[in-house]
Structure 1
């Protein structure tokens, strides 16, 4: 019998950036710009509304919340008195909405951005046309110290998204959504990221070459892919996987991937081997293995990831499955 995630919360625009902090689930609503907290039994609490739409979340060592402003191209800090203060500035380097963020135990923040107006593009053309050479614009990951000063930028990557850190703090793994792969970096002692490499490809090498081909083969592949993008067709497919949010499994070795192309969370081993697939009710944007026992898979799902349409539908859900 297929295990499926069950809906436990609903009525959001675009729930995203699932986090577990102080025995509660936290998440952003990218459509409405709000940050929420849920302890699993009571009502969902709205913690703060972030100017420019809330995105990635994290906490400084002293417990203060950091929240990305997607359209403001910055990171805000929530002070003890409830005031939002600008913490980090990405205005000079963000080519599109600022996106997900990882904050490590030292308070260093690693922040990605779309690199371009993704939703503006796909409102006009199929997603597959992004790969027409030279392909979609890329964007670096910005590295910020605990005081909000920027100390580094990675080489550009293709739509940096969900991010996890290894238990020893030496390896950071980033979802490159539009490249359909998980990419690893070594974390230097000073926090800078280096030695970029593929941790897990999530599309066949042949299909990747074809969709990016500059000739007739590429044009045909992109047109066929556009036909397969139809939701009723896409949800019946198993490949490729576009990783959005990612999270370590409780084994500390494999990674759960929220597949932005369809309703599922996929568990992946290094190298790209698929170990498990858990269906969800809708397109899945974020996942997390947490809970008081550390063995609950949470998923954030949406009928559409377009923030304008999603804000009107309010069909976003939080789903879970006890592993």
Structure 2
């Protein structure tokens, strides 16, 4: 694969990229902002969030959802730009909440790492289902530091990165949104899979922070591609006009970055071997 190109530099702590409506969207944890970036690297602050904007996705009606991770809330952006409470997650688990992914029925899946990070004693995490009316309940537990999540285009399988177990885990999605049929989708030894995305060949790209790379794997764990970087890769997304651009969000990991500096975060792009799923 070709060398990655820098699209955006100087982020405090970039995370959770998503391609939406012709632009790349991502959270800058250190700045408390949700950004939208065009293909020239021009940025717009789409939202400012108290409580760490850990991840974002959209409801079928186009409204933005943002996880306020430290506050344990799922927020919904209204047409006037305000962020209103959508679901109380702290009432389910009193620890930071992490990734979110939505489906075509308006369900949102949100995961929690299950302990206070950094510094807390490890405990397994969980996945919650938030229904369109904002009601939330736990639908999976005993997840080893859940990170990135992706739904297959038919909405029938949820894939979750378990960073502390070096694997990607699959669940069957039931008609009511429940998760069943837990299984190992891919084992990735000596890796810490973080943010993920799914391509049209059925492969998953995942970011790996300690190994400073992005990796593409097939179901079962066969490595298809690897991109080495000079800093930790926290997440990846497929997008661009033909969805054949791979966006990589990379940062030098440090606690100081979570507080806004030093600004070592960047977004890189590289042509992908397959377009986005769906």
TM-score over 0.5 (shorter chain): yes
Q: What is the DSSP-based 3-state SS (H/G/I as helix, E as strand, rest coil) of the residue aligned with 1:244? A: strand
Answering whether residue 36 of structure 2 is matched by residue 86 of structure 1, we say: no
Q: How far is the alpha carbon of 1:94 from its aligned partner?
A: 2.6
Q: Which secondary structure does the structure 1 equivalent of 2:141 belong to?
A: coil
**Hey, what's the Cα distance between the residues in 2 that align with 1:169 and 1:305?**
36
Q: Label 1:42 to 1:275 Cα distance change in 2 as closer, same or farther (>3 A).
A: closer
Structure 2: how far apart are the matches of 1:145 and 1:99? 18
How big is the shift at 1:305? 4.9
* Alignment RMSD (CA, Å): 1.6
Match of 1:217 in 2: none
Of stretches 22-31 and 41-50 in structure 1, the one that deviates more from structure 2 is 41-50
- Is this contact kept in 2: 1:176–1:243, CA < 8 A? yes
Q: What does residue 312 of structure 1 align with?
A: 261
Query: How many residues are treated as equivalent by the alignment?
Result: 272
What is the aligned counterpart of 1:175 among 158, 161, 185? 161
The equivalent position to 2:232 in structure 1, one of 283, 286, 291, is: 283
Instruction: Name the structure 1 match of 2:194.
Output: 244
Residue 295 in structure 1 maps to residue 247 in structure 2 = no
Q: Which whole-Å CA distance do the structure 2 matches of 1:260 and 1:281 have between them?
A: 10
CA distance in 2, matches of 1:20, 1:87: 22
Aligned to 1:206: none
Q: Which stretch has the larger CA shift, 41-50 or 266-275?
A: 41-50
Task: Please list, as runs of the form range in 1=range in 2, the aligned pairs for 1:8-23 lying within 5 A after superposition.
Answer: 8-23=7-22
Deviates more, 1:91-100 or 1:75-84: 91-100
* Superposition misfits of 4+ residues, deviation over 6 angstroms: none
Deviation at 1:322, TM superposition (A): 1.3
Cα distance, 1:281 vs structure 2: 2.9
Between 24-33 and 298-307, the greater mean CA deviation after superposition = 298-307
Q: Distance in 2 between matches of 1:320 and 1:308?
A: 22
**TM-score, L = length of structure 1:** 0.81
Task: Select between 193-202 and 88-97 the one with higher mean Cα deviation.
Answer: 88-97
1:83 positional shift: 1.3
- Work out which of the residue numbers 168, 171, 189 in structure 2 matches 1:185: 171
Name 1:113's counterpart in structure 2.
112
- Return the offset for 1:293: 1.1
Instruction: Identify the residue that residue 194 of structure 1 maps to in structure 2.
Output: 180
**Structure 1: unaligned runs, 5 residues or longer:** 122-129, 131-135, 204-239
Q: Please point out which of 99, 116, 129 is paired with 1:143.
A: 129
Q: Is residue 7–residue 320 contact of structure 1 (8 Å, CA) maintained in 2?
A: yes
Match of 1:35 in 2: 34
Which residue is equivalent to 2:47?
Answer: 48
Higher relative helix content: 1
Structure 2, unmatched stretches of 5+, are 273-278
Report the secondary structure of 2:134's partner residue: coil
Q: Distance in 1 between matches of 2:91 and 2:148?
A: 22
Identify the residue that residue 206 of structure 2 maps to in structure 1. Answer: 257
> Which of the pair is proportionally richer in strand?
2
> Contact 1:3–1:278 at 8 Å: present in 2 too?
no
Pairwise CA distance, 1:20: 0.6
Could you tell me how far 1:250 is from its partner in structure 2? 3.4
Residue 68 of structure 1 corresponds to which residue in structure 2?
A: 67
